[in-house]
Structures are given as structure tokens and as C-alpha cells.
A = this chain, B = another copy of it.
Amino acid sequence: MIRLNNDYNEIACSEVMAALQETTPCSYPGYGADEWCQKAAQAILAQLGGKDAEVQFMIGGTQANATLIGAALRPWQSVISADCGHIFAHEAGSIEYTGHKILALPAQNAKLTAKAIAAEAEKYRQSGEADYLTEPKLVFLSSPSEYGTVYSKAELAEIRRVCDAYHLYLYLDGARLGYWLAMPGCDVTLADLAVLTDAFTIGGTKCGAMFGEALVLVNPALREHFRTFRKQTGGTLAKGWLLGLQFYTLFQNGLYFSLARRADELALQLKAALRSAGCEFYLDSCTNQQFLLVSPAQADFLAQRCIFEPLGTWPDGRQCVRLCTSWSTAPARIEALCHELRQLPRA
């Protein structure tokens, strides 16, 4: 049975596995002071359109989010996030554990809007209660979002303008960045992110690596003693070259994006088949995650053919389920599944 529940259920792409294997006789300095981390950072920086930045390699996404946010904020400052944002809804209070409040705003298409951010920042500014309220200081976006939707370049630019007007950091969680930048019609590049954000992550765990996230620190204010803080929060890998080598492998020649592109194509193929079969979608996603609202009969049908991620029952009795392709999804199996979907029960 094909596992479509998430995009982190296989170990790593063959190129990454081979690169790791090749280092077996080699020894390296620890904690990221190795050649691979340097080469990987260079490979990423080379794609930032000349923008100055620093790359730090992190082990996982929750760790990357909490470390960046904890390092960026003073104690009385808070984070603006969509209420479906991963840091608010799925990371066990990791941001609050660092002492910071999250100001959760109702999401639209699982995204924050520039307007909502501006309204929140303006409410604080107008309140006359700066002594009794946390100071909003950082905007947390994820793209693709929790539900596969993405920000357009124009949307990001508008959010950037709001952030500038209210002195807010803009941080983008790119745990699935590849599936965004590689999707058909995407008008955003790594170089755009280096201009538009203060920091962003390039997710490896879900995009072909064994594990790891590259954190790009664009704003120099966010770089200060970052490595000390990463150690303090337990997030520094002793064998740092493992991260550098993986990202070098993925970024030296475009592999990161080609893996993601194929996964997006398979997701769109699946989406078309589902739509033809009469399925309803929770939100319209063009990336590797697709969210359906299905009847019990449809859920049963799917459950016999693939492993999906159940996301609970709607008031009308329908279930929301996630189907997710990834760098590891076999095209032939998606094709077969699409074929079978013609038999999907109506509602």
C-alpha cells in the first residue's frame, strides 16, 4: 500500500545516501567547522542574488523555529502567527517555552494577510498600553502553509512593507520550501526570499535529505551569537558535516528543486484524478499536500488503497484527510492509484 500520509516517511534520496556513504573513511572537525558545511553554505548563498546572509544548519523544524525566534526576541516581545501555524498548533508550546507569547490571527487560506498583520500591529500601537501588552516583533509565515497553500511574491512584498512600517522581523518557515519554489507558476525564488524576509529555512527533512534544515539569516541582527544559542538549546549536531554534506548534495546542482518538482507534478496528477472522481478539496493547493473532504464511503475506499493522514471529522460528518506526495513517491504507483480513483464512490 502506498504511504501518502506525509513527506518524511523514507530515509533520503539516493544521491544523499551515496554522499554519506562516501565519507565513511573520512574524519572531520566537529560542530560544523568542516568543509562540507562551508561548501553547502556557499552553494545556497550563491542562489541569493548577491544578498549577504549567513547559513546555519539545524537538525529539525521545531528546533529551527524555536531557536530563531528565541534568539531574535527580547523577553517582552511576541510573535504574530496564523492560528493554524505550526508553532501555534503543533509544536507543544515550544515558543511559549522560550517565554514568548504568540498572537494568533485567524488564517485566510491557511495564510496570514498583510492587512491582518497591520491591524494587529496598529492595535498595539494605538492601545496606549505598551506597558501591559507584549510588543509584537516577529511575523511567522510558513510557505507552503499547513494546508499546502503558498504566498505569491506580491503578497510577500506587501507583508514586507507592513513589517518595515511596524519594525517587525519577517521569518518564513520553509519546511517544505522545495515544493513551493518548484511548483508550476511559482513566482518566488530563493533570491526573493533573501530580499523579502529577515530569515527563512530551507527544509531538508521533507525534501530529499535524511534530516536537517538550512536556516538562512539575512538580517545581521539575527546572526549574533547564534551558534552559542543553538548549543544552549541543545540543537548543535556534533557531527555537523552530516548536515553540510546533505545540503551540498541537494544544492550544488539543483537536485533539491528537481526532486520537489516531480513530487508536485505527482500531487497535481492525483488532484486532477480526485477532482474528476468528484472529490471536494478543503483548500486549493498546488503543492505536494492535498486536503480532501470525504464521505465515510470515500474514506474507506481510499484507506484500502493508500495510507493517508486523517485530520478529524467535520460537523457535516465528512472527514478531512491529507494525501501527500514527496521526493520518494513512485510515479507508477500514483498512476495506478489515479486509475483506481475512477471507482471512487460519489460522496
Contact = CB atoms under 8 A, between A and B. Distances in A.
A239 B3 CA distance: 14
Nearest to A134: B93
Interface in A24-71: 24-31, 59-67, 70-71
Contacts of A23: 11
B238 A130 contact: no
A87 B231 CA distance: 11
Copies of this chain: 4
A93 to B, nearest CB: 4
A8 interface: yes
A228 B9 contact: no
Interface centre among A31, A101, A224 (most CB of B within 10 A): A101
Contacts of A205: 238-239
For A20, A76, A129, A234, which residue has the most chain B Cβ atoms within 10 angstroms?
Answer: A234
B97 A93 contact: no
B76 A93 contact: yes
B60 A92 contact: no
Contacts of A232: 75-76, 91-94, 97, 134
A9 B28 contact: yes
A316 interface: no
A56 B65 CA distance: 23
A91 B132 contact: yes
Contacts of A131: 31, 92, 227-228, 231, 236
Interface string A197-221: 0000000011000110000000000
Given A6-B30, A130-B228, A211 B242 contact: yes
Nearest to A127: B312
Contacts of A166: none
Contacts of A146: none
Contact of A239 (B28, B94, B210): B210
Contacts of A71: 74-75
Nearest to A33: B131
A196 B313 CA distance: 35
A14 interface: yes
Nearest to A23: B11
A10 B24 contact: yes
Given A63-B234, A100-B96, A238-B60, A229 B27 contact: no
Interface string A82-120: 000000001111101111110000000000000000000
B227 A90 contact: no
Given A31-B131, A100-B93, A236 B24 contact: no
Query: Which residue, A21, A60, A232, has most C-beta atoms of chain B within 10 A?
Result: A232
Contacts of A334: none
Given A60-B236, A99-B99, A130-B227, 6 more contacts: A11-B242, A67-B234, A78-B96, A92-B228, A93-B101, A132-B231
Closest 10 CB pairs of A and B: A63-B234, A9-B27, A93-B134, A92-B232, A93-B101, A96-B101, A3-B27, A92-B231, A76-B228, A131-B227
11 contacts: A70-B75, A74-B225, A91-B231, A91-B232, A94-B231, A96-B100, A97-B99, A130-B227, A132-B228, A205-B239, A210-B239
